[in-house]
């Protein structure tokens, strides 16, 4: 593991203006933790949390990728960012990261740089997925989906064959049963058969009703509510695509579809957005009209096809139930 400390400065263009704290970095091959300790941030009446970006240099550009928002400076900040290769767009970007940028709503910039490069943090450009990378991710995603569909298909065929087999056996056994049973026992046999069939039918209806109920469950959550999920799923809170959707529409969702727990990021459907969603691990789009949700004007987009980009996650279906306060 690589450990180091770097000073945090306020910047104007390429110039360091004053020191406002330091960051402590603990970097491993599959995870990096940045501890931000700062004070002396500019405080104004409309002060909000600082927007955080990881960045790297490419030629004369500073490329940034959003990583969430810190607590509101008071005026000190003690904040921790934990990210993985999945949280920086693509795995190749993980080793390129060269520092962290903090920006407030009034345009004040703060940054810590890992090396001695001169960086114009105030002219940061947002990272965009390259077309060939998107196609590669899309192919891999489709390959995975195809495998899942093949498994489901085989499972369905096996179930169909089992049902057909049982049906044929029942047909073969029925004449034999009638032959062996005495005439006075035959009405009793039919009575028991009808009772069994009614019981099975009722059980099937109950199962279908339960499954339909699960398919309709949905809960609107805040990013902080992801603590109800298993710890292994908390890393998605720093996913750049999730952060982008969350700060545009101020919520996320948890839903159960076909018996699977899903995390949903609000957004609109169009081909370019679909590629971005897939590349960040959210391949499934569920239109908002399919979900029983009450949304404010700030939480939706009535001008385009609005819905949720979703991914399967681990966790209890109880997470979808509204939490008691």
Q: Could you give the residue ranges of the DSSP H alpha helices within 109-265? A: 131-180, 186-215, 240-249
pLDDT, position 6: 94
Residues 43, 74: Cα–Cα separation, whole Å: 8
Residue spans per domain, the chain: 2-127, 132-214, 218-320
CATH for the stretch 2-127: 2.60.40
Task: Work out the number of other CB atoms within 10 angstroms of the CB of residue 130.
Answer: 12
pLDDT, position 192: 47
CB 1 within 8 Å of CB 27? yes
Q: What is the pLDDT of residues 218-234, one digit of tens each?
A: 999 999 889 888 888 88
Q: What is the pLDDT of residues 256-289, one digit of tens each?
A: 988 899 999 999 998 888 888 888 899 999 999 9
pLDDT, position 129: 67
CB 37 within 8 Å of CB 22? yes
pTM for the model stands at: 0.48
Strands (E), the chain: 2-12, 15-27, 32-38, 51-58, 61-69, 77-83, 99-103, 109-113, 125-126, 218-221, 252-257, 260-268, 284-287, 306-312
Exposed, middle or buried: residue 276 (CB in 10 Å: 0-12, 13-18, 19+)? Answer: buried
pLDDT, position 14: 76
Q: Chain-wide mean pLDDT for the chain?
A: 77
């Amino acid at each position: 593991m690589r450990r180091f400390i770097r000073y945090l400065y306020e910047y104007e263009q390429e110039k360091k203006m004053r020191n406002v704290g330091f960051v402590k970095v603990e970097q491993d091959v599959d995870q990096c933790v940045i501890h931000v300790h700062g004070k002396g941030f500019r405080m104004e009446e409309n002060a909000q949390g600082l927007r955080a970006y990881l960045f790297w240099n490419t030629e004369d550009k500073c490329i940034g990728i959003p990583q969430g928002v810190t607590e509101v400076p008071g005026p000190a900040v003690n904040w921790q960012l934990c990210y993985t290769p999945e949280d920086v767009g693509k795995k190749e970007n993980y080793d390129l990261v060269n520092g962290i940028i903090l920006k407030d709503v009034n345009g004040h910039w703060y940054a810590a740089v890992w090396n001695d490069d001169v960086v114009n943090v105030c002219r940061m450009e947002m990272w965009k997925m390259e077309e060939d990378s998107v196609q590669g991710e899309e192919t891999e995603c489709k390959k995975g989906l195809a495998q899942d569909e093949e498994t489901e298909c085989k499972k369905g065929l096996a179930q169909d064959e089992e049902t057909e087999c049982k049906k044929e056996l029942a047909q073969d056994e029925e004449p034999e049963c009638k032959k062996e049973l005495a005439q006075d026992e035959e009405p009793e046999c039919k009575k028991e058969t009808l009772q069994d069939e009614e019981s099975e039918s009722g059980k099937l209806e109950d199962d279908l009703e339960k499954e339909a109920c699960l398919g309709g469950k949905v809960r609107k959550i805040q990013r902080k509510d992801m603590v109800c999920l298993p710890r292994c799923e908390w890393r998605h809170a720093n996913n750049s695509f999730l952060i982008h959707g969350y700060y545009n529409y101020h919520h996320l969702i948890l839903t159960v579809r076909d018996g699977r727990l899903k995390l949903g990021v609000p957004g609109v459907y169009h081909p370019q957005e679909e590629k971005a969603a897939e590349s960040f691990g959210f391949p499934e789009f569920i239109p908002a009209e399919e979900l029983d949700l009450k949304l404010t004007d700030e939480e939706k987009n009535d001008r385009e096809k609005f819905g949720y980009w979703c991914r399967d996650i681990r966790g209890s279906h109880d997470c979808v139930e509204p939490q008691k306060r």
